[in-house]
């Protein structure tokens, strides 16, 4: 059973034929919401909206550990994370779909590991390749089969939020080698790795990052809504194909 964590612009999965919902009790507190179980064209899938059903949980307040623990508890075979991003690389435009292959973590103060229990052995997971290559390849192949253009390979910078970045911060991220910027990619990816769950991301470019392109004079999120909604239609088609429709 594949899991989908939806971000801004994907708070419900309309192609999921819902069978039941379950509030999972976790040792880490409450997940962002009930897990929604169902089928996508006959294949089992489970959906979790990262920011809650009313989109009320900001990126730095998401209980990433509870979310990942709950999905792992249900023995999901993989997790596709959908998240919107700002583009730093000039060729990435609003509405573009990006499959990142690397992460730089600029977040702070988040509960970012399962391995902090008193008395549990110190554990250092390998994170050389932060996304699961096989799952990412399945996503890229699904997009190709559908003729949907995606940018394969990008460095995702995870910032703390909830505010957007300054132009100078974006310049720094670019110097660091980042291509896109978002607020939720970490610690989600690392926690999935700690649990041994294959995890890959589909990023949708919502805007040019601060000081770039049409964002040179400021970013207005309300004007991005229609771009995200159109792109999420393509993302849903890709997910259907990955699931096996």
Nearest distance in Å: CB 228, ligand HPA: 9
Tokens of residue 143, six digits: 């997009």
Name the segment binding ligand HPA (CB under 6 A); options: 26-34, 93-101, 119-127, 178-186. Answer: 178-186
CA distance 212 to 204: 17
Stretch that binds ligand HPA, among 35-43, 138-146, 176-184, 190-198 (CB under 6 A): 176-184
Q: Which range in 120-128, 148-156, 177-185, 233-241 contacts ligand HPA by CB under 6 A?
A: 177-185
Q: Which stretch binds ligand HPA (CB under 6 A): 14-22, 45-53, 89-97, 205-213?
A: 205-213
Is 101 among the residues that bind ligand HPA (CB under 6 A)?
no
Distance CA 98, CA 141 (A): 13
Nearer to ligand HPA, 6 or 86 (CB): 86
Among 100, 182, 187, 198, interactor with ligand HPA by CB under 6 A? 182
Contacts of 217 (CB under 8 A, 6+ apart): none
Query: CA of 45: how far to CAs of 3, 77, 78, 94, 147, in Å?
Result: 6, 10, 10, 28, 24
Kindly tell me which residue out of 31, 164, 173, 235 binds ligand HPA, with binding defined by CB under 6 A.
164
Residues in 25-84 that interact with ligand HPA by CB under 6 A = 84
The two structure tokens encoding residue 91: 């060729």
Measured CA to CA, the distance from residue 151 to residue 139 in angstroms comes to 11
Are the C-beta atoms of residues 95 and 149 closer than 8 Å to each other? no
**Which tokens go with 31?**
């997940």
Interacting residue with ligand HPA among 40, 79, 181, 238 (CB under 6 A) = 181
Contact positions vs ligand HPA (CB under 6 A): 84-86, 159, 164-165, 181-183, 206-207, 209
């Amino acid at each position: 059973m594949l899991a989908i964590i939806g971000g801004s612009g994907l708070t419900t999965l309309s192609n999921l034929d819902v069978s039941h919902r379950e509030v999972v009790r976790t040792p880490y507190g409450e997940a962002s919401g009930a897990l929604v179980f169902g089928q996508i064209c006959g294949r089992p899938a489970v959906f979790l909206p990262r920011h809650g059903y009313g989109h009320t949980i900001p990126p730095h307040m998401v209980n990433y550990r509870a979310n990942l623990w709950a999905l792992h508890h249900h023995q999901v075979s993989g997790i596709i994370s959908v998240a919107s991003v700002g583009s730093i690389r000039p060729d990435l435009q609003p509405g573009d779909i990006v499959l990142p292959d690397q992460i730089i973590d600029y977040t702070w103060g988040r509960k970012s590991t399962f391995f902090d229990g008193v008395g549990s052995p110190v554990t250092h997971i390998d994170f050389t390749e932060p996304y699961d290559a096989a799952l990412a390849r399945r996503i890229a192949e699904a997009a190709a089969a559908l003729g949907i253009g995606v940018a394969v390979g990008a460095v995702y910078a995870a910032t703390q939020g909830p505010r957007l970045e300054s132009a100078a911060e974006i310049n720094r991220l670019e110097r660091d080698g980042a291509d896109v910027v978002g607020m939720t990619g970490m610690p989600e990816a690392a926690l999935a790795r700690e649990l041994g769950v294959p995890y890959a991301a589909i990023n949708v470019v919502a805007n040019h990052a601060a000081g770039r392109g049409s964002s040179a004079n400021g970013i207005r999120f309300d004007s991005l809504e229609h771009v995200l909604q159109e792109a999420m239609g393509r993302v849903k088609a890709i997910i259907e194909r990955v699931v096996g429709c």
